[in-house]
Structure formats: structure tokens, C-alpha cells
Amino acid sequence: MKSKQVYLDNASTTPVDPRVLKAMLPYFKERYGNPSSLHALGRESKNAIETARKNIAKHIGAEPEEIIFTSGGTESDNLAMFGIARAYKEKGKHVIVSGIEHKAILDACKKLEKEGFEITYLDVDKKGLVSLEKLSLSLRRDTILVSIMYANNEIGTIQPIKEIAKIIQEFKTVRHCEESATRQSEKTNRLLRLPHNDRFNNNSLFPIFHTDACQAASALPIKAKELGADALTMSSSKIYGPKGIGCLYLNKKYSSTGSLQAKIEPIIFGGGQERGLRSGTENVAGIVGFSEALSISEKKRVSESKRLIKLRDYFLRRIQKEIDGVLVNGDIKQRLPNNINVSIKGVEGESLLLLLDRYGIYCSTGSACSSLDLSPSYVLLSIGLPLELAHCSVRFTLGRYTKKGDIDYTMKVLVESVKKIRGISSIK
């Protein structure tokens, strides 16, 4: 069979768009100044990151000061979780997340539990969707933070972010009214010279709603305020930008002094860059590349999503038609345009991955054998997939450079590989 390279792992990372690389190159050799330096070279770098910040803010529907550059999705998620929880622990120590969040959220939660926070992990249904009712029931007076991902990296399920935001907003309003009432009675108490202990006076700010939009960006609308998110994580390496750069959007209500006594706590300390929220010399080339990548992906978003949905459905139809015993993992409709996640009965995922790899086809699997901790994907188990089928899962994520010919080639190899593995498999 003719050899070819087909990259179907775009949810892991994407190649850098040549235009992005071109925009970045001057910032390695000629415009290498430290943005904190006062001289011309430094000012040039400072200018570059502020221009990028404005551009990114525009695409997220935010103000430039609401963008905090970080080293990527993981750091943005960590900053949101730790930064918000630690800064506002006086307001409450309850946090809500979904059970299928990225590890950057879930592992941060484990650490927060050790710091005395209580975490509610919301179950998802068979399709991977969070129940709005369960969310409503989980909200408490001491809930300070809710983090629910926009779209899942493994099964591509898209959460109803706007509805989630609405529920949280309604809760904030009710809470605000309740607490205003309390303040009114406290006023009365004050008049009666009774003690009061209310340092903060705008309780409707909580809980803060954060969403991880790493997988959603380039496929779905990302205007934070329209979505109703107070904080939003983005990564450059999933949108054809460089690795090692991302940002956290944070509504300025929570990052400027404003009416609040506290702002979010940084997790990295030092030179006070990013208004003290993220120290460390800025990754200038990365920031410039991220900004360019976002411009390109936003320009292409609608047409590219349509193209990917067509191509993905063609691919999935062929898989279902040409291979028996295929189960689609996740929701069919509420799904990222580029995501296919299937379990192929009797075909262990790592074996399949390595056979495909031999023919230059790159994908991923939720099988235990491919993971570092030797347990199969927690996301697949969360949607109720039996262990035996989780081991047989394989994920194909299409991208900007995937063509129909790539899918046809993949199908040819896939059908043969499945046949081969089933032949030597001891379970049928």
C-alpha cells in the first residue's frame, strides 16, 4: 500500500499555520527585546504583545485588560481554579466542576480539596452532557466557582454553556437579593449598634463561572460575554498556533480592584508581568503567533466547521458501514465538527493505534494501555462505557489540512487493521 501521512489527532495539537510561523519569526532574532525593558527594542516587544492582546480580546469579545497570557491551557485552567478559589475563600469554599473536565481542572480540584475546599463533581449522562437540573441543585450559598468545559477533548461533546451560564446568573441574582436583604437588616442592626461583619458588599459576583474553551475555539463562537462566562481558557496549540502559549480571559470585575477587596491570586510569582497575575518574561513570539492563529481561525471558523462536519460524517458513515461492532462514544449532535470517537468491539485501542501508525495514520485511544496510569479513559467510563469497550476506543480528530483522500486512505488501512486484530483476538 502506498505510504502517506495522515494526521488525525488534531485534538491533541495542531500544526502551526505557515502564516503564523511567518508572523512569529522576527520575534526570535531581530525583535528579541524584553517587553519590560524601557529601550526601543523592549518597547517594540511590549507593543507587539499589546497589539496581540487587543486582537485576542476583540475575538473573545473582551477588553484587553481582561486577557492574561499564560503558558497554555493547563496553566490557564490552574490559574482560574487556584486563583479564584484561593482569592475568594472568605466568600465560601465550595466549587462545582463536571466529572469529565480536563485533568488540568480535575487535578487542581484534588489539590483544592487538600486546602479545605469542597468540590462537587457533576455526573454527565450517556452522551457526556451535564444535567442542568443537577447543576441547579448543586449551587449553594458558599459556591464561589463553577467550571464546566465548553467542549470535551475526548468525545467532543459540546456543553450547553449559555444555559449553564444562565442558571448561574439567576442564582447570582437571587443570592444578591437575599444578601441585600441581609444587609438591610444589618443596617438596622448597625443603627441598633449591633456588630456586623460584611466586608464585601456585592455578593452577586459569586459563583464565578469558568469554562475551558481549548477544544471549542476554532469550531464554536468564543465571545465570552455572549456565552455568559466570567472566565475562559484558551490554548494556542489547538488552533494552529505555537505550543506553550494560551490565555485566561477573566472578567475585569474579578481582576481589577473595583468594588472588591481582593483580586485573583497569582500562581506564579516574580516580576509582576500581566498586571501581577502572571509573572515571567512574556513569550513574545508565542503571543504574536497565538494572536495571528486566532485571527485566521476566527475568519475561517464557520466555513471550516461546515466542511469538517461533512467530512467527519462521511468518515463515520464509512466506519459504520464497513466495520461491524462499532459504537459511537458521545453525543452525535452536540459534538465538535472534527471529532470521531468509536469503540470497535474486540479491537484493543493501542494495538489498532500502532497498526495505523505504521501506515502513517496518527490517532489516539482511551485504552488503558496507552495511558500512563494504566486505567482507561475516565471520560469514557463517566459516560457509562463498560471497561471492555473503553479499551477498544479510538479517537480520530480531523483538522484544517484533512482532505477526503486522507479519509479514503485511512478507511482502507483501518478496515484491514481491524480485520487483522480481530483475527488474533481471543474475544469476539
CB of 8 to other proteins, least distance (A): 15
Which CB atom, from 18 or from 423, has the smaller least distance to other proteins? Answer: 423
**Measured CA distances, 409 to 246, 343, 412 (Å):** 34, 20, 5
Q: Identify the residue among 387, 401, 404, 408 touching other proteins (CB under 8 A).
A: 387
Note the Cα 97 to chain centre separation in Å: 13
Could you tell me the smallest distance in angstroms from the CB atom of residue 420 to other proteins? Answer: 9
Rounded to whole angstroms, how far apart are CA atoms 377 and 78? 21
Would you state the cell numbers that stand for residue 345, as one nine-digit string? 468491539
Interaction of residue 391 with other proteins, rule CB under 8 A? yes
Per CB under 8 A, does 38 bind other proteins? Answer: no
Output the smallest distance, CB 324 to other proteins, in A. Answer: 17
C-alpha angle 157-305-389 in degrees, rounded to nearest 5: 35
Does 369 participate in binding other proteins (rule CB under 8 A)? yes
Under rule CB under 8 A, residue 368 binds other proteins: yes
Q: Which is nearer to other proteins, 296 or 385 (CB)?
A: 385
Question: Per-residue x/- marks for other proteins, 338-357, CB under 8 A?
Answer: --------x-xxxx--xx-x
Work out which of 43, 190, 275, 358 binds other proteins, going by CB under 8 A.
Answer: 358
Contacts of 141 (CB under 8 A, 6+ apart): 92, 175
Q: How many CA atoms lie within 13 A of 233 on its CB side?
A: 30
Among 14, 367, 393, 410, interactor with other proteins by CB under 8 A: 367
Site string for other proteins, 408-427 (x = CB under 8 A): ---------------xxxxx
Return the C-alpha torsion angle 212, 217, 219, 220, nearest 10.
60
Helix (H) or strand (E) holding 28: helix 26-29
Q: Is 393 in the site for other proteins (CB under 8 A)?
A: no
Q: In this complex, which beta carbon is closest to other proteins, that of residue 1 or of residue 332? A: 1
To the nearest whole angstrom, how small is the minimum distance from the Cβ of residue 278 to other proteins? 29
Minimum separation from the CB atom of position 422 to other proteins (A): 9
Cβ closer to other proteins: 272 or 386? Answer: 386
**Cα 252–163–125 angle (5° rounding)?**
120
Quickly list H helices, 101-214.
Answer: 103-114, 132-138, 161-191
Which of the residues are catalytic? Answer: 369
* Other CB atoms within 10 Å distance of the CB of residue 129: 19
Q: How far apart are CA 331 and CA 334, in angstroms?
A: 6
The residues binding other proteins (CB under 8 A) are: 1, 3-4, 346, 348-351, 354-355, 357-360, 367-370, 372, 374, 376, 386-388, 391, 423-427
